[in-house]
Amino acid sequence: MEHITTSRTAMALVVVAAFIYGLGIVFAIGGYAALTPTTFGTALGLLHAAGWLRAVGWAAALAAVCAAGWELLRRGTWASASEVGAGALGTLLIAIGMLINATSAESNPASSVVSAVGVGVWALLALSRAARRSLAGQESASEGIAVPREGMLWLLAAVGLFILAIGSSLTPDFISKGTGVAAGAVEAVGVAILFGALAAARAQGRLPSRATPVTLAGLASLAAAFAAAAGVSGAVFGPNATLAGLRTGVLIVVVIEMGAVVVLGLAAWMRVREAVTLPRIAVSLR
């Protein structure tokens, strides 16, 4: 899976995906800002466009994963290519879930379930990597070879992704505040665990890239967005929800989400620049 973050083509497509998805959030911001009784139709149009742009953004993310897999296939590294292929399947399911949401007139539980299955596929990949790293570490230890223990970090990442999948399977409803609170809180915990796994790897010197701290900032912002969604659901959603309350509360959430997407997109762009710079450095040292 590491090849996705080291492939210049894949990371460039991730930047495109972040831009398109971020554009969708801009439309969502405009839609919720226009959520008044006199401009209700305009708001719905903007929110509908936001859903489509988010779906296209995930389609670009799928293209990024597929590009990395294709590069591995051309090199003949079949094991790594099959792993990335499984990741492409997970990303495809998330993109399909976003497409279902974009084509639905209202919140569709099928969208959340399909996307959650896609996140679950990535969790299974992380769990598989954790098991393989753990076995490799045990074999090396039995031979008296000291190797870094990465299995626990991958296991932590898998747990975070599984929790994120559980939260993603819940469909928030403006009428029922409980579901929104649960979804936001569970998703925030999942992202926070991912943040912890990445921060631990960084502290152990396994992620020396300059993009890693930016990625951590993006994950922290994303966790804050999910936590804000839980708080807004508890304060605004329910049978007595008002347009003014929804407009103000959801705007807070989408603005924080926009910040997270911008920061994560910046991290991807930094990886693109590193992929361009490193080969030049290697050539100059010959």
For 160-193, the pLDDT digits (tens) are: 999 999 999 988 877 778 888 999 999 999 999 9
How many Å apart are CA 223 and CA 232, to the nearest integer?
A: 14
Backbone angles phi, psi at 39, to 5 degrees: -120, 30
Give the residue with greater pLDDT, 133 vs 98: 98
pLDDT for 285 equals 31
Per-residue CA distances from 166 to 55, 139, 176, 208 (Å): 20, 34, 18, 31
Residue (of 269, 257, 218, 260) closest to 29 by Cα position: 257
Helices assigned H by DSSP within the chain: 2-6, 8-33, 40-75, 78-103, 109-142, 151-168, 177-203, 211-236, 243-284
C-alpha angle 280-65-156 in degrees, rounded to nearest 5: 100
Instruction: Quickly list DSSP for 164-214.
Output: HHHHHTS---SS-HHHHHHHHHHHHHHHHHHHHHHHHHHHTTS---THHHH
pTM exceeds 0.85 for this model: yes
pLDDT for 138 equals 62
Contacts of 57 (CB under 8 A, 6+ apart): 17, 18, 19, 20, 21, 22, 23, 24, 98
Residue (of 191, 188, 189, 123) closest to 158 by Cα position: 123
pLDDT for 19 equals 97
The domain segmentation of the chain, as residue ranges, is 2-274
For 248-261, the pLDDT digits (tens) are: 899 999 999 999 99
Q: At what angle do helices 151-168 and 177-203 cross, to 10 degrees?
A: 160
For 265-285, the pLDDT digits (tens) are: 999 999 998 876 644 433 333
Least confident of 71-75, 130-134, 221-225: 130-134
pLDDT for 283 equals 30
Where do we find the tokens 């492939």? Answer: 7
